[in-house]
Structure 1
Amino acid sequence: MPREKGTLVFDIETIPDIPRAKRLYGLTNLDDAEAFEALKNIRRQESGGSDFFRHHLHRIVCISVVLRIGDTIRVWSLGEEDGDEADIIRRFFSAIDKYDLTLVSWNGSGFDLPVLHYRAMLHQISAPMYWEMGDHYKDFRYNNYINRFHLRHVDLMDVLSMYQARAAQPLDQIASFLGFPGKMGMDGSQVYDQFLSGQLPAIRHYCETDVLNTWLVYLRFQLLRGEMFRPDHEREIELVRELLTTSPKPHLQEFLSAWNAAQETHD
C-alpha cells in the first residue's frame, strides 16, 4: 500500500552528553560542572578555538516538527516532556517509516542528521526507510535521504548557499530578511543553561518557533523553484496563519504577533 506523501520540517535541540564525554576523556573523577569546563578546554585544543562538542556527544532533548500532510498542518515537539532521548529519536524515524516524507531542515546535513545517526546507533534504533538507498525500492536509488544532492531531504542552508560554506547564512537572519519572526526567546547557545534550570518547556517552544521559521522559508524556496505558484503560496501562508490564530499556545500566538510586526516594517 502506497504511503501518504507529506513534508516534515524538523529541528533538534541538544545538550552536552557529559557522562559519556567524561568516560571518553578520562574525567570521571570530576563532577559534571568541572567536567564541562574541562571538556570545553579540551575541545578548543582539538578544534583550534571552538568549544562546540563533537556530534556524537550531543544529547538530544527536543525534536520539533512541522508536518504538512493532506489538508492539514501541525507543529509540535515529539514525545512527552519527560520522555527519554531514545523515545524522541524513535518517534522521528518511525514517521519516515509510516509516511513518504520530504524532510526539510536548516543545516540538517551538517548537524541535526549526523547527531541523530550517532544517537540512534547508541540506542539501537532501526530506521529502514530513512536509510533506504535503492536496495529494496528502486526509486530511492535516484532520490534518497542520504545523498547530499537529492531532494528527499532539503537542507535549505546547504542548497541556498550552493553548498559553499562561505555563503551559508544563519536561519535567524534569513527568516528576518524575508519578513518572518526569526529567533524568539533564546538561541542554541542558551539551551544547556535553560535545561539545567529546568526550562525544558521553554526549549521545546523555542524549537517549535524555529521549525515554523524554516517552514516559511521553505515555502518561499518552493516559490523560487517554480514548484509553487503565487496563489498556492498564498494559500499555504494562510494555512499557517490559521494554525497560529486558532492555537491556544501562548508561544505560537507570540510568533504570530512577531510575524505581523515584522511584515509591517518589511519592504
Structure 2
Amino acid sequence: MRPTLSFHLQTIPNVPAIRQLYQLDGEIGEADVADFVLQRCRAQSGTDFIPFHLHRVVAIAGVLQQDGQTRLVQGLAADAGDEAAMLADWLSLLRDSRARLVSWNGARLELPVLRHRALALGLPLAEQLRAGADSSSQVSLSEILSGGHAELATPQGELARLCGLPGEAELNGPRRWELYRAGDVGALAEHNARQAASCHLLWLRQQWVEGALDSGAHQACRQGLRAVVVAQPEPHWRGWLADWPADAPQGD
C-alpha cells in the first residue's frame, strides 16, 4: 500500500495581508480588519469564504500510514511568525514520505491554500502539490464521492457518523476566528487533529469498499490508528474514541 497522509488544516483571516492589500490603517484592530474582509466576501459571494490568498494557516494535522506503521502528525502556528516554520516542516514530511495526500475537501480549500501560502512565504513545494502532479498524488474524498458535484457534497462529519465512525461538524470561518481571538487556538488544533483522523478512517473505508483493501488489511489499518489515538495523552481524544467503540463492526 502506497504511503498515505490524510490531512486537514485550519485557517484564519490573514490580517497583515488584508491590511497591506486594502491599505487599512494600522490603528484599526484585528477584529475590525477580519470583519471588513468577511463583510466584503458576503457582499460579493454571499458566503463567509475568503479568497485563498487571504488565509493564514494556524493548524495542520495528518495521519501518516507508511510501511505498516501509523503516525499522528500535528503542527500549530499560534503566531503569524510560526506559520512558515510549521509549513516548511510539513512540506519536508511530504517530500520525505512521498505519500499520497488525502483530504475530505482539499481540492476546494486545503490544496489551493497550501500553494498560495508556499508561494507567499517562499517555501519549495513538495511534488504532490506541484502543477501537473500525478492525479494519484492527491485525493479529495468529497469530490470522488459526489462525482465532482461540489454543490452536492456531503459534510465529512455527517457521512462519518452514518458509517459508524467519529464525526463532528466543521468549524466555519467566523467560528475559527472567534476561537483564535479568544486565545483558544489549542481548540482549533484539537478539532483539526480529530478531523484528520476521521478523514483517514473514511479513506480506509472507501478503499475497502472499492476493493483496494481486503477486510483484514482494512481492520489492521483501523486498529493501527486506534492504537495511536489511545496513546495520546490529551483528553479531547476521549470523546472521539467514545464515538468509535472498539467492538464496532467495520461493515463486512
For the criterion TM > 0.5, the same-fold answer is yes
Q: Shift of residue 78 of structure 1?
A: 2.4
1:7 equivalent in structure 2:
4
Whole-angstrom distance in 2 between the partners of 1:78 and 1:9: 14
Q: Which range moved further: 124-133 or 152-161?
A: 124-133
Whole-angstrom distance in 2 between the partners of 1:53 and 1:163: 22
Contact 1:103 1:152 in 2 (8 A): yes
State the superposition RMSD in angstroms. 2.5
Are 1:166 and 2:151 matched, yes or no?
yes
Q: Shift of residue 11 of structure 1?
A: 0.7
1:210 equivalent in structure 2:
195
1:187 equivalent in structure 2:
171
2:115 equivalent in structure 1:
117
For residues 33 and 132 of structure 1, do their structure 2 counterparts lie closer, same or farther at Cα, with a shift above 3 Å needed?
closer
- Structure with the greater relative contact order (CA < 8 A, sep ≥ 6): 1 or 2? 2
2:37 to 26, 36, 39: 39
Paired AA for residue 243 in structure 1: V
2:208 equivalent in structure 1:
223
Paired AA for residue 60 in structure 1: V
2:49 equivalent in structure 1:
52
Contact 2:55 2:113 in 1 (8 A): yes
For each residue in 1:48-105, what CA deviation from the matched residue of structure 2 results, as whole angstroms up to 9, or x when unmatched?
Answer: x113211110100011111111132111312676671111111121112112211100
- What 5-or-longer segments of structure 1 have no aligned partner? 134-140
Paired AA for residue 197 in structure 1: A
1:16 equivalent in structure 2:
13
Q: Shift of residue 23 of structure 1?
A: 2.2
Whole-angstrom distance in 2 between the partners of 1:35 and 1:26: 11
For residues 27 and 262 of structure 1, do their structure 2 counterparts lie closer, same or farther at Cα, with a shift above 3 Å needed?
farther
Whole-angstrom distance in 2 between the partners of 1:63 and 1:20: 20
Aligned pair count reads: 247
Q: Shift of residue 131 of structure 1?
A: 4.9
Whole-angstrom distance in 1 between the partners of 2:162 and 2:15: 37
Whole-angstrom distance in 2 between the partners of 1:201 and 1:24: 29
Q: Shift of residue 123 of structure 1?
A: 0.6
Q: Which range moved further: 21-30 or 203-212?
A: 21-30
1:257 equivalent in structure 2:
242
- The residue matched to 1:183 in structure 2 has which SS? coil
Q: Shift of residue 5 of structure 1?
A: 4.8
Whole-angstrom distance in 2 between the partners of 1:131 and 1:205: 25
Give identity over the alignment, percent: 28
Q: Shift of residue 108 of structure 1?
A: 0.5
1:62 equivalent in structure 2:
59
Whole-angstrom distance in 2 between the partners of 1:178 and 1:95: 30
Normalised TM-score (structure 1): 0.84
Q: Which range moved further: 190-199 or 246-255?
A: 246-255
1:129 to 116, 127, 130: 127
Contact 1:11 1:211 in 2 (8 A): yes
1:138 equivalent in structure 2:
none
For each residue in 1:179-210, what CA deviation from the matched residue of structure 2 results, as whole angstroms up to 9, or x when unmatched?
Answer: 111117x7244221111111122211111100
Whole-angstrom distance in 1 between the partners of 2:115 and 2:67: 29
1:137 equivalent in structure 2:
none
1:74 equivalent in structure 2:
71
